[in-house]
Amino acid sequence: MPVQMKFDLPARPALGRGDFYITESNAVALGLVDTWPHWPNGKLVLVGPHGSGKTHLAHVWCTESGARMIAACDVATADIPTLAETAICVEDVERIAGDAETEQALFHLHNLVLANGHSMLLTATRAPTLWALRLPDLASRMAGTTVARMVPPDDMLLSAVLAKLFADRQIVPMADVIPYLVRWMPRSFEAAGQVVAHLDTEALGTPKGVTRNLARTALAELEFPEENATD
């Protein structure tokens, strides 16, 4: 009989995105984000690869700090004085590199938010020195910002996320499915979502539901590389 897997992990609320599970892979970044009233110069850059959970953590911070969130590419058309009335999270900052108008707008937002005594969180996939910003004043201010790094999820965190994604779809996989997926799938939340969605579709009408064999087939169909040891 399928067994519901349970994980005794602490959780933090996120803005409309369920629970933020804490393990060794994200504890350091979380700890830095949690010190937001005392960030050096009032700002922090949260860095991590796609699917590492940085946007999720950014939502957690926005909920706790009362901050607004905006994509960096939208800053040029935003009402900067209004945005600067509260703490602000600017997502995917490196995407504006080379866009003179948007870089200038972010520079003004940065200065006004801090002048108003609020905090600023910025997210990116790489450290600020690698963003290739062309506005010298903005580049220097970003380079001098403290960096918190997100890393790909560890086994415990990836297991918990997969269990939650299955539960959200009212799926109870066989007991060996999640350990198998954790061993063979890419280590990202994005991949976890793709795998569970694919299994949800493939399991429809099958008498045994989500089994290890079905999981193996799903990984092959999604063309995820097998980077771990042989089964």
Give percent of the chain with pLDDT exceeding 90.
59
Amino acid identity for residue 153 in this structure: P
Q: How confident is the model at residue 7 (pLDDT cuts 50, 70, 90)?
A: very low
The terminus-to-terminus CA distance of the chain in angstroms comes to: 23
Domains parsed from the chain with CATH numbers: 24-149 (3.40.50.300), 154-221 (1.10.8)
Output the average pLDDT for the chain. 86
pLDDT for res 146: 94
**pLDDT(103) > 80:** yes
* 50 alpha carbon, distance to own chain's centre: 7
Q: Could you tell me which of 223, 170, 174 has the C-alpha nearest to residue 195?
A: 223
In the structure, what pLDDT confidence band is assigned to residue 205 with cuts at 50, 70 and 90? low
- pLDDT (tens digit per residue) in 104-124: 999 999 999 999 999 999 999
Q: Which of 88, 9, 20 is nearest to 60 (CA)?
A: 20
| In contact, 81 and 47? CB cutoff 8 Å | no
| pTM reported for the whole predicted model | 0.76
Q: What is the pLDDT of residue 204?
A: 78
**Alpha carbon distances (Å) from 79 to 7, 69, 172:** 44, 13, 47
Among residues 150, 134, 52, which one has the least CA distance to residue 94?
Answer: 134
In this predicted model, what pLDDT tens digit does every residue of 65-77 receive, in sequence order?
A: 999 999 999 999 9
| Residue positions counted in the chain | 231
Q: What is the DSSP string of 111-152?
A: HHHHHTT--EEEEESS-GGGS----HHHHHHHHTS-EEE---
How many CB atoms sit inside 10 A of residue 122's CB? 25
Q: Is 169 strand, coil or helix?
A: coil
Q: How confident is the model at residue 49 (pLDDT cuts 50, 70, 90)?
A: confident
Average pLDDT rounded to a whole number, residues 187-197: 89
Rounded to 10 degrees, what is the CA torsion of 117, 148, 50, 217?
A: -140
Side-chain-facing half-sphere of 193: CA atoms under 13 Å:
8
